[in-house]
Amino acid sequence: MKRQLQIVLGILITFVAVAIVFHSCKPGKEAVKSEAVEAALATYVPPGDLDEFYLFYSGGHSGNIFVAGIPSMRHICTIPVFTPYPSTGYGFDAETKKMLGGYTWGDAHHPALSETNGDYDGRWLFINDNANNRIARIDLKDFKVKQILGPIPNLSGNHGSTFVTENTEYVTIATRFSVPIPKGTYVPVEEYAKKYHGIVALVEVDPKTGEMRMDEKHGFQVLMPPFNFDLGDAGKGPSHGWVFWTCYNSERATGILEITASQNDRDYIAAVNWKKAEEYLKQGKYKIINGVRVIDPKEAPGVVYLMPCAKSPHGVDVSPDGKWIVGSGKLQSITTVYNFEKMLKAIENKDFVGEEDGIPVLRYESVREAEVPVGLGPLHTQFDDKGYAYTSLFVESAIAKWKLGTWEVVDKIPIAYNIGHLCVPEGDTKHPAGKYVIALNKLSHGRHLTVGPSQPEASQLIDITGEKMKLLYDAFTEPEPHYAKAIRADKLKDKVIEVYQKGIDNKNPNAIWDEKDAKVVRKGNTVEVWMIAVRSRFQPWKIEVNQGDKVIIHLTNIEQTTDELHGFAICEYDINVVVDPGETKTIEFVANKPGVYPFYCTNFCSALHQEMQGYLLVKPKGGAGVAQK
Ligand code: RUQ
Ligand code: CUA
């Protein structure tokens, strides 16, 4: 406390000094300086203090999620999801290797925090892999991936994902690139318009365990025309039970899409009534395709409607009260607000202007509430706690602030470089926290020291508590930031664990907790090892095998002190795992290289960390002391 006071005093003295120095300058400069001082104070988290929010932002094709604190914007953790990550040994042990399914990367786009009654409940974080059609679930108890579902049947380019329904009944998935269905079928691309299909779908989430399921009994898919589905959002409050996805390429074109798919003046937002879909599922009105339930809208009226939307729409976002659906046509200067109630009325009145493969198209004029002149290239919208919406403008490099209900644009702030997504803490829930908006920029020229042709990425932290938005900070973010979600830190305070408690968090049948249980057991050509790691030794420290043996090591870190990690690396065997306190991991490999291979702890764990080592001794085939050629 005393130290903090000293620091705050120190800063104040500096500011007074700065103020005196600048007193003689032009008033303009002084104003600029005091704004900078204000901004510095607003983002300054004194040593020992903690940030107010966790920010989870996706790392695109790095396959990772990065965690930062708001308002400091300090990067505090990397969660490897679709990509092996040596720092935590992710993708090297048997379990995570199996989860990755042989893929070495993924394209992580849209993180989603689990919700209860439309608010973040701090249980899980989901994220999609646009490239390999998967979704992952991270447990916020320990910030680790617990499940990767997929590649999901029939889906191709899972971009419109992951968005959760009000009580995390489902997470969304959707096809960005239409393909012939069942996936795996061959049809010449010339027959695209008739024989290729899009899929929008909901993966079921077990309410207790978070387990995601899509099979013959769980979740479902909806067969769609060959449009490109882009982004989605789930309804809430009055619109609970519906999910919305934007799509482009209503032209059903192939080739150079920037031309061929920009012919129509309007594309669509697909509105899917999942409660209705559930009724059809109960009646057995679906087909099993590739092991999953697929509903054909032609045979299931009332499940899908299309709402015309400004050309090439991108983001679709539902307001906190669930009444408004905001769809942004990225080639226009307006964003369209749809009225959910009007949508229901238009459906009731069969106010249709046509159909697409049996899916009714609603009359635009009947469902739209307003066209908000936000500016050029609107992409995504977030909401605050005061009834305002914030729309990112890619072309204009700005954020527009506008009022829900009156639809007037009340403020605009320029962004350093083309903005993509934006994030208001809890800004897609029923109760946004407001306070900040983070602009996730697509390009960032000149905001950091240059490091060559590829410029460091920058995200900008903006204060939204006042009438006017105020830029506070240029933060470095790992490439390539797509969507981000931020949650009040106190929501996770009692949820995050400090160690894996023996028998409570660690129920691994291969865990051992005492040195006397450490052992090496041979069964035929398999050598199985139960090993412990504790400051600062491995037990057993010696593993003797024959060349060609399969080696299985169950390694338990028996420490019960937070942050006491141990690593386990075998030289030249490409083995590297990390065990957190109380964690057990299994390592499997074939001892195909003869000789003596040291293993050692990779995480600095004590003054005697360097002493934490042992040997893998591989007897050459033939039994002699030298390898046979
Ligand atoms: S979208 S490019 Cu999230 Cu704006 Cu993928
Ligand atoms: Cu254990 Cu270093």
**pLDDT tens-digit map of 150-171:** 999 999 999 999 999 999 999 9
Based on the fold, state whether residues 406 and 455 are members of the same structural domain.
yes
Q: Which of 440, 468, 497 is the last residue of a domain?
A: 497
Based on the fold, state whether residues 490 and 562 are members of the same structural domain.
no
Per-residue confidence (pLDDT) for residue 22, from 0 to 100: 45
Per-residue confidence (pLDDT) for residue 20, from 0 to 100: 46
Per-residue confidence (pLDDT) for residue 615, from 0 to 100: 98
Per-residue confidence (pLDDT) for residue 2, from 0 to 100: 47
Q: Mean pLDDT score of the chain, rounded to an integer?
A: 94
Number of compact structural domains in the chain: 2
Based on the fold, state whether residues 484 and 521 are members of the same structural domain.
no
326 located within any domain: no
Cα–Cα nearest to 174, from 214, 127, 133: 133
Per-residue confidence (pLDDT) for residue 212, from 0 to 100: 98
Residue percentage of the chain with pLDDT more than 90: 88
Beta bridge partners of 375: none
381 three-class SS: strand
If pLDDT is split at 50, 70 and 90, which confidence band does 434 have?
very high
Per-residue confidence (pLDDT) for residue 260, from 0 to 100: 84
Based on the fold, state whether residues 481 and 519 are members of the same structural domain.
no
CATH number for the domain harbouring residue 71: 2.130.10.10
Q: Which of 430, 462, 497 is the last residue of a domain?
A: 497
The model's pLDDT over 472-489, given as tens digits with 9 standing for 90+, comes to: 999 999 988 899 999 999
Q: How far is the CA of 176 from the centre of ligand 1 (A)?
A: 11
175 located within any domain: no
Based on the fold, state whether residues 491 and 387 are members of the same structural domain.
yes
CATH number for the domain harbouring residue 531: 2.60.40.420
Based on the fold, state whether residues 546 and 456 are members of the same structural domain.
no
Per-residue confidence (pLDDT) for residue 13, from 0 to 100: 52
Q: What is the DSSP letter of 108?
A: B
Cα–Cα distance measured from residue 443 to residue 480, given in angstroms and rounded to the nearest whole number: 9
221 located within any domain: no
Q: Is residue 371's pLDDT more than 70?
A: yes
Q: Is residue 339's pLDDT more than 50?
A: yes
228 located within any domain: no
Atom of ligand 2 nearest to the CA of 606: 2
**Ligand 1 pocket mutation pick from 128, 159, 335 by most atoms within 8 angstroms of CB:** 159
Count other Cβ atoms within 10 Å, centred on residue 361.
Answer: 17
Segment 543-569 mean pLDDT: 98
Per-residue confidence (pLDDT) for residue 11, from 0 to 100: 54
Cα–Cα distance measured from residue 250 to residue 263, given in angstroms and rounded to the nearest whole number: 9
570 located within any domain: yes
Atom of ligand 1 nearest to the CA of 482: 3
Based on the fold, state whether residues 597 and 554 are members of the same structural domain.
yes
Q: Which of 468, 497, 526 is the last residue of a domain?
A: 497
**Ligand 1 pocket mutation pick from 331, 381, 421, 422 by most atoms within 8 angstroms of CB:** 421
The model's pLDDT over 404-420, given as tens digits with 9 standing for 90+, comes to: 999 999 999 999 989 99
Based on the fold, state whether residues 594 and 543 are members of the same structural domain.
yes
Based on the fold, state whether residues 402 and 487 are members of the same structural domain.
yes
Q: How far is the CA of 516 from the centre of ligand 2 (A)?
A: 20
383 located within any domain: yes
Per-residue confidence (pLDDT) for residue 444, from 0 to 100: 79
- Residue whose token pair is 């907790």: 513
Atom of ligand 1 nearest to the CA of 420: 4
Cα–Cα distance measured from residue 219 to residue 210, given in angstroms and rounded to the nearest whole number: 14
Cα–Cα distance measured from residue 537 to residue 271, given in angstroms and rounded to the nearest whole number: 59
The model's pLDDT over 185-238, given as tens digits with 9 standing for 90+, comes to: 999 999 999 999 999 999 999 999 999 999 999 999 999 999 999 999 999 999
Domain containing 582 equals 515-619
> Which ligand has its closest atom nearest to the C-alpha of 111?
1
Per-residue confidence (pLDDT) for residue 259, from 0 to 100: 83
> Which ligand has its closest atom nearest to the C-alpha of 130?
1
Measured over all CA atoms, what is the biggest interatomic distance in the chain, rounded to whole angstroms? 87
Based on the fold, state whether residues 418 and 463 are members of the same structural domain.
yes
Residue 47 burial (10 A CB sphere; 0-12, 13-18, 19+):
exposed
Cα–Cα distance measured from residue 307 to residue 329, given in angstroms and rounded to the nearest whole number: 13
Per-residue confidence (pLDDT) for residue 263, from 0 to 100: 83
If pLDDT is split at 50, 70 and 90, which confidence band does 30 have?
confident
Cα–Cα distance measured from residue 588 to residue 552, given in angstroms and rounded to the nearest whole number: 5
299 located within any domain: no
325 located within any domain: no
Q: Is residue 27's pLDDT more than 80?
A: no
Please say whether the dihedral angle defined by the alpha carbons of residues 89, 90, 95 and 101, taken in this order, is positive or negative: negative
If pLDDT is split at 50, 70 and 90, which confidence band does 41 have?
very high
> Which ligand has its closest atom nearest to the C-alpha of 581?
2
Based on the fold, state whether residues 553 and 485 are members of the same structural domain.
no
Q: At what angle do helices 27-43 and 2-23 cross, to 10 degrees?
A: 170
Based on the fold, state whether residues 481 and 555 are members of the same structural domain.
no
Atom of ligand 1 nearest to the CA of 159: 5
Per-residue confidence (pLDDT) for residue 627, from 0 to 100: 47
